[in-house]
Amino acid sequence: MSDQLVSQQVRAKAQEWLSGTYDEQTREEVRQLLEAEDPGKLTDAFYKNLEFGTGGLRGIMGAGTNRINKYTVGAATQGLANYLKENFSSLDLIKVAIGHDCRNNSRYFAETCAQIFSANGIKAFLFDDLRPTPELSFAIRELGCQSGIIITASHNPREYNGYKAYWDDGSQIVAPHDVNIVNEVSKVKPSDIKFEGDTSLIEIMGAEMDEKFLAKVKTVSILPEVIEKHKDIKIVYSPIHGTGVKIVPAALRKVGFTHIYHVPEQDVVSGDFPTVVSPNPEEEAAMKMAMERAVEVHADVVMATDPDADRLGVATQNDKGEYVILNGNQTALIFIYYIITQMKKANRLKGNEYVVKTIVSTELIAEIARKNHIGYYDVYTGFKYIAEVIRDQEGKKKYIGGGEESFGFMPADFVRDKDAVSSCVLMAEITAWAKDQGKTLYELLQDIYIQYGYSKEKMKYVVRPGKSGAEEIQKIMEDLRNKPPKALGQSKLERVKDFSTLVEKNLPTGEEIKINQKETSNVLQFFTCDGTKISVRPSGTEPKIKFYFEVKGNLPVRSLFDETEQAADDKIEGMMKELGL
């Protein structure tokens, strides 16, 4: 399709937004886009419609079909309402729960959604103020709702907002509902959206739901006696301007911790995120102020959550006394190790337990599970897939933990999404337990490597925004799929997994086997003869293509950790150069 034709189609779509169906503020913004000399912003705003990805609906705020605004959010809500009425037609009253984070316009969008649901005869439970994503997931289950939504763009930069949709188990929506809802949304015209609500069907939730949630969060504690013994460990916590500001410190105090140090500047709730460029605890810049606070108070552990408090960043002191951030694989590894170790020690393992990890996460999680005779599942990126396993195994097997490399973990199944609130409580307990053993978290991680094998993981992403960027990302995937490298890191390629066809190919033998997943996904994985794993996938929520590297090694003693780390870093850097990253 030519650029000229795209431009004609884009302009035609934009012209539709100048009609009386749209409010004056929206029309004025579209007029400015149409009159601008550079057509790039107009194209990006209208060249496609936002669709549900691995994390729901997410985009830059503003006017346009490819933007987050009253009408795209409204169409998603109207489409979801239509689908709920079709699927739950036998119920006298359909119920949904609605939450939102700290972002600009989040409260407005949440209230708009409540109006639309109520206008469609659906009961809407709306939180009275910002709340963490895991509490929204919990509320859906607690209230017996058929669905729920939260307005959030997670850890994205300040110009973004988003819309996560949930099903009746408190999980983000998966197939076939996700595709069906997209189809319903695509049918919705702006004139179909019922913006005028029925206030009698909107109920505000507040402190009572918080107390119920916190009572459940307390149950993730495995060794309360260790907390009692070391309740005075020093914990620095930052919500990075987001929803964790009240609920996480309250959760830590509820289980018994007494020395919780705040980062006052980042306790300020703001969608402008004034102290950071990106409110992402995966990035050192976002954790910087919390780590500086840790130096002041000599903290045992530093924890920070992203704006909707589903992702957790953890920092601890290394053997030189410097505070360093653990990557998401390392935190997940520590969680899984601790849960299994303590359950085994207390003779609480019945033989039906299992853990879940995503396919791009460290293989050491699977190794720990195997060596302890615990079942494990590999799923696609996104906690909705972890929740899907829990749903499939409900009543048959017992979920004891699951996580992914991107700083998400879920310690218990009363929430069916990433849960940084419960994870903060459990990580603080693990810190106390390590201290009881005379160790820091850093030394505990090293001991896990000594016992189960060393692994180093790094992720590199390439950002390509807009329409041209999406095309470039598609070409990168096609080139890797059609012409995979013969070797990486001086080790021959042994296996290739293509999740778009669900075929795993053994290169030396030519044997092909089917990959055990319910659906296809645009992910490639390369495995070399020395155990290296490289995963490549376009992001489902951001204009990025991500490359995940994992190399194996051996750590016989703690004193060789730095040397082993350096060798792994060098190997990964070499592979990145080979791939042109």
Nearest to 467, CA basis, from 36, 41, 20, 11 = 41
Residue of 106, 118, 154, 406 marked catalytic: 154
Question: How far is Cα 477 from Cα 479, in angstroms, rounded to an integer?
Answer: 6
How far apart (Å, rounded) are the C-alpha atoms in residues 405 and 396?
27
Q: 218: which 2 tokens?
A: 């307390």
Nearest-angstrom CA–CA distance, 71 and 67: 9
Told to judge if 270 belongs to the known catalytic residues of this protein, a careful annotator would answer no
Residue partners of 56: CB distance under 8 A and separation at least 6: 162, 163, 164, 165, 172, 173, 541
Contact in structure between 227 and 293 (CB atoms under 8 Å): no
CA distance 190 to 462: 35
The helix or strand, by DSSP H or E, that contains position 135, with its residue range, turns out to be helix 133-143
| Residue 96 to residues 118, 291, 449, 566, Cα–Cα distance (Å) | 10, 39, 44, 50
Residue 198 class from Cβ within 10 Å (0-12 exposed, 13-18 middle, 19+ buried)? Answer: middle
Peptide bond into 176 cis (omega under 30): yes
**Residue 243's closest CA among 306, 287, 285?**
306
Rounded Cα–Cα distance for residues 579 and 581 (Å) = 6
Contact 304, 281 (CB under 8 A): yes
List residues with catalytic annotation. Answer: 154
